[in-house]
């Protein structure tokens, strides 16, 4: 829910597109990423370019959620005989489960995650530029150790963390899935609020692009069970009548009490002020009407 609340209001389900040219610019990038996306190496540089523009306008927490990717990160593996590092793989894209824990982290930590992720994107971008055979100085004595590693083993370092080369296209596609994961969350919560929930749920389509709608089978105590897809695991079983949209700030919130109409104390105060103003206004009109009646 917090994930969807961080989404800029212009891009939310509840908002109709505005006429602000700045908004329209981000809409153009947005349509480019949504509708003209070809997941291949030739388009990867452009894809990532548009994606980064969209993400740059997001709050830091969402930037971290979208950009942070552990696929290809080397982790320490030790057994009795040796200790070595091996790259992580995440073929089912479980990354959102990990990245959702970033929501609410300190700004400093998020800042570091975002800048490291961007650094990694830059390295992969360079790698995906047209290849010019081997670097001319390969084999020379002054060759930095890091680049030997890169050329021989397809790995590179960001800070002190070692990554396997995964390809820009791969990184871009996964980041795009996480972008749509957020939109899908907004779409699902929007369906929960108000009428026609099932109809709205039927029409959700961001979830399909999020790559997070595959369920998982597992066996426990000699019984086959299924785990809901990551995207749905956050809402399966909850009472939709308690999911509401704040009448003041439009954020989604969980109504602990049935009559709750606003998300926070602050919005409650704003709402009371507004009601007071309406009452004052009605009083004014009311007295004027009465005066007019008296005159007749
Ligand atoms: Zn509110």
pLDDT tens digits, 131-163:
544 555 444 444 444 555 555 568 889 988 999
**d(C-alpha 153, C-alpha 156), whole Å:** 9
29 CA from centroid of ligand 1 (Å):
29
Residue 41 lies in a domain: yes
Token pair in block for residue 134: 């081997």
251 CA from centroid of ligand 1 (Å):
6
Asked whether 72 and 165 are in contact (CB, 8 A), the reply is yes
Residue 220 lies in a domain: no
Residue 66 lies in a domain: yes
112 CA from centroid of ligand 1 (Å):
30
Q: What is the mean pLDDT of residues 121-128?
A: 89
Q: What is the mean pLDDT of residues 2-14?
A: 78
Residue 182 lies in a domain: no
pLDDT of the residue at 41 = 82
Residue 212 lies in a domain: no
Higher-confidence position of 119 and 82: 119
Task: Count up the domains in the chain and report the number.
Answer: 1
pLDDT of the residue at 49 = 92
63 CA from centroid of ligand 1 (Å):
23
Percent residues over pLDDT 70 in the chain: 84
pLDDT of 224 above 70? yes
264 CA from centroid of ligand 1 (Å):
6
247 CA from centroid of ligand 1 (Å):
7
pLDDT of 181 above 90? yes
Q: What is the mean pLDDT of residues 227-249?
A: 88
**Residue 214: pLDDT band with limits 50, 70, 90:** confident
Residue 227 lies in a domain: no
5 CA from centroid of ligand 1 (Å):
10
**Angstrom distances, CA of residue 112 to CA of 15, 60, 104, 265:** 32, 10, 14, 32
**d(C-alpha 61, C-alpha 75), whole Å:** 24
Q: Which residues surround ligand 1, an ion (CB under 5 A)?
A: 246, 248-249, 263, 267
**Residue 3: pLDDT band with limits 50, 70, 90:** confident
> Is the Cα dihedral 223, 238, 92, 101 positive or negative?
negative
Residue 291 lies in a domain: no
Give me the chain's average pLDDT, please. Answer: 83
Of the candidate ranges 30-39, 245-254, 273-282, the one whose mean pLDDT is the lowest: 30-39
**d(C-alpha 147, C-alpha 200), whole Å:** 52
Q: Which range of residues forms the domain containing residue 153?
A: 2-175
Name the residue with tokens 């795009």.
Answer: 176
Asked whether 210 and 231 are in contact (CB, 8 A), the reply is yes
Higher-confidence position of 235 and 64: 64
242 CA from centroid of ligand 1 (Å):
15
**d(C-alpha 231, C-alpha 212), whole Å:** 5
Q: C-alpha angle 144/149/155, rounded to 5°?
A: 130
253 CA from centroid of ligand 1 (Å):
8
Residue 262 lies in a domain: no
pLDDT of the residue at 142 = 41
Q: What's phi and psi for 116, nearest 5 deg?
A: -65, -40
Sequential DSSP letters for 33-60? HHHS---SHHHHHHHHHHHHHHHHTS-H
């Amino acid at each position: 829910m917090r994930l969807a609340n961080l989404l800029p209001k212009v891009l939310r389900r509840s908002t109709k597109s505005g006429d602000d040219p700045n908004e329209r610019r981000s809409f153009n990038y947005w349509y480019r990423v949504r509708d003209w996306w070809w997941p291949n190496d030739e388009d990867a540089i452009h894809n990532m370019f548009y994606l980064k523009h969209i993400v740059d306008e997001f709050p830091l927490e969402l930037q971290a959620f979208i950009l942070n990717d552990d696929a290809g990160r080397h982790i320490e593996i030790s057994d009795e005989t040796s200790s070595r590092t091996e790259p992580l793989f995440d073929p089912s894209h479980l990354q959102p489960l990990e990245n959702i824990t970033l929501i609410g982290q300190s700004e400093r930590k998020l800042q570091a995650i975002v800048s490291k992720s961007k650094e990694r994107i830059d390295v992969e971008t360079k790698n995906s530029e047209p290849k010019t055979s081997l670097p001319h100085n390969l084999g020379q004595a002054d060759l930095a150790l890091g680049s030997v590693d890169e050329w021989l083993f397809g790995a590179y370092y960001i800070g002190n963390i070692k990554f396997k080369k995964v390809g820009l296209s791969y990184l871009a596609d996964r980041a795009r899935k996480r972008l749509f994961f957020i939109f899908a969350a907004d779409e699902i919560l929007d369906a929960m609020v108000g009428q026609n929930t099932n109809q709205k749920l039927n029409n959700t389509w961001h979830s399909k692009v999020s790559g997070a709608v595959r369920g998982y089978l597992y066996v426990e105590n000699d019984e086959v069970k299924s785990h809901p897809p990551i995207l749905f695991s956050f809402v399966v079983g909850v009472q939709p009548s308690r999911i509401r949209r704040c009448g003041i700030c439009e954020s989604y919130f969980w109504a602990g009490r049935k009559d709750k109409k606003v998300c926070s104390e602050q919005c409650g105060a704003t709402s009371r002020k507004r009601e007071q103003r309406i009452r004052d206004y009605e009083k004014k009109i009311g007295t004027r009407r009465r005066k007019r009646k008296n005159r007749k």
